[in-house]
Chains A and B, each alone.
Chain A
């Protein structure tokens, strides 16, 4: 029989074939399972990454200071258009939709042919988007990206700050790089989401995979204590003087003395946060926090309050002011004044350096240093903005024999504007410490208020209320009535405050041509609603218009105070 070997041969062949097939099945199922599972999964599922919408930053009245919105960009993928004719055809189809000449589109594509993403136009309208979607355009895509807007632009540039690209080049997320955007980046940022959709053969979504889907979580929004209107009052008043006096820089702060809420904070020169990459880095500093300066006479009320509180000097004590020449300590009076005996109130009213030097000597280094530390000098105030400078208050071990006579009138110490206004807020509220802050409330994406700043965060006493009231209602009110701050007076409200004209130290010596002109105060003296600081650095003395705090800074203070109190009063009604 010849058929038997044939059957055996065919049988063996079949066994081998089936054996090979079985091995192949085993190989595919065991060794290549993950690969084909992924391929199969990729064919039936689509992953869509969702970038979270960054939270909004609002002012205290709900005006938008910063918000994100999507911007649509039309792009061409040259890889999908292998022939130049295809590019030209696509460009001709895009021309009427985008209103860009076809040759220009061809030029853009030609310049970046080697890339797979060539942006043609950013910021297309909804109408244009729909027209592109409905046209059978090859190689054309639309990308959407969150863009950050700051409608108030320069007005709040130093407070809100700006966002920029993440350090990681693969990340599409933007991070806060300055101001509130940086300080509260983790809250504003949100969490990226991923939608996993089941798709049909045409890649149309027909279901979702809830187990794999990660819901996008938009960032929380912040309501600031800043009021855009008060901010504008402060900026416009300061800007006028800054330009008129050709000053090098200027800063103004408006604060609620009862809880430390900042109502306005201006730093000049400023920049447009929408174009921060083009801005001069020097304009991007919030000088109210970053630039310490020798405060000069605006420091006197603080030292006087510490001395009165500690009983080192009496309210009616007569202090001999050496007729304008304290030779032993090489101290003179401002503008060559010659004073005899003065009470602490008169020392502040007429801004006597010698009177303050003698108060400093009565206190001694230890008590003076401890009092100033208690007021927070030489340390950050804790305001919720980055890059705050602690200023400089040297330890007593580094003091010379002159230091105890210099610090009381604001020399040999560096402070920031925010430290000074905080100290004045403490005097204005009766001696309780406050923490300057900018965030009033945090609101999550559902609109639920998560954190709210307290209306008043007064706790404890740094100095006795009667001392603080005396300084504000008696001494500093008198500075405005009869003393150096008369230009700050208002008809309707009793203003209190102190002028300061401090020399700027250059290479260890005081420059006699450059000054910092300041005024700090508040109103109404009986129950202060706000405290305001104005500091103008290097007003041009050569203009012959004056350079003192009373001349340069006090009128700005008056304008800000007048507008702010009128605004607050009208909004209360």
Chain B
């Protein structure tokens, strides 16, 4: 095997190895970002649920009745 051919093979082997490591690291990084995004999404869902519950608490029929009873009668 000539020297240039050996260099060519070693060079390509190195490139493939570096590429494989890079892909692996990228996959890990993407997974990490995906996982973070999922946690953020879950948090947003929870915040939305929390707001919905607060709204339900303000709008439920018994609270509305109470508020109507407390309001002064405009006819009087």
* Interface residue? B28 (CB, 8 A): yes
Would you call A236 and B52 a contact (CB within 8 A)? no
Look across to chain A and name the residue whose beta carbon is closest to the beta carbon of B29.
A206
Distance in angstroms between the alpha carbons of A151 and B27 in the assembled complex:
44
Would you call B65 and A232 a contact (CB within 8 A)? yes
* Interface residue? A63 (CB, 8 A): yes
Distance in angstroms between the alpha carbons of A199 and B65 in the assembled complex:
54
Mark interface residues in A463-506 (1 if CB within 8 Å of B CB, else 0): 00000000000000000000000000000000000000000000
Would you call A205 and B32 a contact (CB within 8 A)? yes
If over half of B's interface residues share one DSSP class (helix, strand or loop), that class is named, otherwise mixed; here it is helix
A-B contact pairs, 22 of them (CB 8 A): A63-B56, A64-B52, A64-B53, A67-B53, A69-B46, A69-B53, A149-B53, A151-B53, A152-B62, A155-B61, A205-B32, A206-B27, A206-B29, A207-B27, A207-B28, A207-B31, A208-B31, A228-B60, A229-B61, A232-B61, A232-B65, A236-B65
The answer to whether residues A205 and B35 also contact, given A64-B53, A67-B53, A149-B53 and a CB cut-off of 8 A, is yes
Q: Please give the distance in Å from A563's CB to the nearest CB on chain B.
A: 11
Q: Please give the distance in Å from B65's CB to the nearest CB on chain A.
A: 6
Distance in angstroms between the alpha carbons of A232 and B63 in the assembled complex:
10
Look across to chain A and name the residue whose beta carbon is closest to the beta carbon of B61.
A232
Chain B residues, CB < 8 A from A155: 60-62
Chain A residues, CB < 8 A from B50: 69
Q: Please give the distance in Å from A444's CB to the nearest CB on chain B.
A: 17
Would you call B61 and A204 a contact (CB within 8 A)? no
Mark interface residues in B37-71 (1 if CB within 8 Å of A CB, else 0): 00000010011011011001101111011000000
Distance in angstroms between the alpha carbons of A235 and B60 in the assembled complex:
13
Distance in angstroms between the alpha carbons of A69 and B57 in the assembled complex:
14
Mark interface residues in A197-228 (1 if CB within 8 Å of B CB, else 0): 10010001111100000000000000000001
Chain A residues, CB < 8 A from B29: 206
Would you call B47 and A126 a contact (CB within 8 A)? yes
The answer to whether residues A126 and B43 also contact, given A152-B62, A207-B27 and a CB cut-off of 8 A, is yes
User: In the complex, which residues 127-168 of chain A have their Cβ closer than 8 Å to any Cβ of chain B?
Assistant: 149, 151-155
Distance in angstroms between the alpha carbons of A64 and B29 in the assembled complex:
40
Distance in angstroms between the alpha carbons of A474 and B74 in the assembled complex:
43
Look across to chain A and name the residue whose beta carbon is closest to the beta carbon of B47.
A126
Look across to chain A and name the residue whose beta carbon is closest to the beta carbon of B46.
A70
B residues engaging A (CB < 8 A)?
A: 27-29, 31-32, 35, 43, 46-47, 49-50, 52-53, 56-57, 59-62, 64-65
Would you call B57 and A151 a contact (CB within 8 A)? yes
Q: 5 tightest CB-CB pairs across the interface, nearest first?
A: A206-B28, A232-B61, A151-B56, A151-B57, A155-B62
Look across to chain B and name the residue whose beta carbon is closest to the beta carbon of A200.
B28
Look across to chain B and name the residue whose beta carbon is closest to the beta carbon of A228.
B61
Would you call B31 and A205 a contact (CB within 8 A)? yes
A151's partner among B28, B31, B32, B60 (CB-CB below 8 A) is B60
Would you call B62 and A235 a contact (CB within 8 A)? yes
Chain A residues, CB < 8 A from B56: 63-64, 151-152
Would you call B32 and A206 a contact (CB within 8 A)? yes
A residues engaging B (CB < 8 A)?
A: 63-64, 67, 69-70, 126, 149, 151-155, 197, 200, 204-208, 228-229, 231-232, 235-236
Q: Please give the distance in Å from A238's CB to the nearest CB on chain B.
A: 13
Chain A residues, CB < 8 A from B57: 149, 151
Please give 17 more A-B residue pairs, beta carbons under 8 A apart, in addition to A152-B62, A155-B61: A63-B60, A67-B53, A149-B53, A149-B57, A151-B53, A151-B56, A152-B60, A153-B62, A155-B60, A200-B28, A205-B31, A205-B35, A206-B28, A206-B29, A207-B28, A232-B64, A236-B65
Distance in angstroms between the alpha carbons of A208 and B32 in the assembled complex:
10
Chain B residues, CB < 8 A from A197: 35
Chain B residues, CB < 8 A from A208: 31
Would you call B27 and A69 a contact (CB within 8 A)? no
Would you call A69 and B61 a contact (CB within 8 A)? no
Chain B residues, CB < 8 A from A235: 62
Chain A residues, CB < 8 A from B43: 126
Chain A residues, CB < 8 A from B60: 63, 151-152, 155, 228
Distance in angstroms between the alpha carbons of A200 and B32 in the assembled complex:
10
Chain A residues, CB < 8 A from B35: 197, 205
Chain A residues, CB < 8 A from B49: 67, 69
Distance in angstroms between the alpha carbons of A70 and B31 in the assembled complex:
25
Look across to chain B and name the residue whose beta carbon is closest to the beta carbon of A130.
B43
Distance in angstroms between the alpha carbons of A69 and B52 in the assembled complex:
10
Look across to chain B and name the residue whose beta carbon is closest to the beta carbon of A53.
B49
Q: Please give the distance in Å from A348's CB to the nearest CB on chain B.
A: 35
Q: Please give the distance in Å from B50's CB to the nearest CB on chain A.
A: 5
Q: Please give the distance in Å from A379's CB to the nearest CB on chain B.
A: 34
Q: Please give the distance in Å from B34's CB to the nearest CB on chain A.
A: 9
Chain B residues, CB < 8 A from A69: 46, 49-50, 53
Distance in angstroms between the alpha carbons of A114 and B32 in the assembled complex:
36
Q: Please give the distance in Å from A178's CB to the nearest CB on chain B.
A: 19
Q: Please give the distance in Å from B15's CB to the nearest CB on chain A.
A: 23
Q: Please give the distance in Å from A243's CB to the nearest CB on chain B.
A: 13
Q: Please give the distance in Å from A132's CB to the nearest CB on chain B.
A: 14
Chain B residues, CB < 8 A from A232: 61-62, 64-65
Chain B residues, CB < 8 A from A205: 31-32, 35
Distance in angstroms between the alpha carbons of A197 and B32 in the assembled complex:
10
Look across to chain A and name the residue whose beta carbon is closest to the beta carbon of B39.
A205
Q: Please give the distance in Å from A499's CB to the nearest CB on chain B.
A: 27
Distance in angstroms between the alpha carbons of A200 and B24 in the assembled complex:
12
Distance in angstroms between the alpha carbons of A155 and B63 in the assembled complex:
10
Distance in angstroms between the alpha carbons of A63 and B52 in the assembled complex:
10
Distance in angstroms between the alpha carbons of A70 and B43 in the assembled complex:
9
Which residue, of B43, B46, B47, B52, has the highest number of chain A Cβ atoms within 10 A? B46
Look across to chain A and name the residue whose beta carbon is closest to the beta carbon of B34.
A205
Distance in angstroms between the alpha carbons of A235 and B35 in the assembled complex:
47
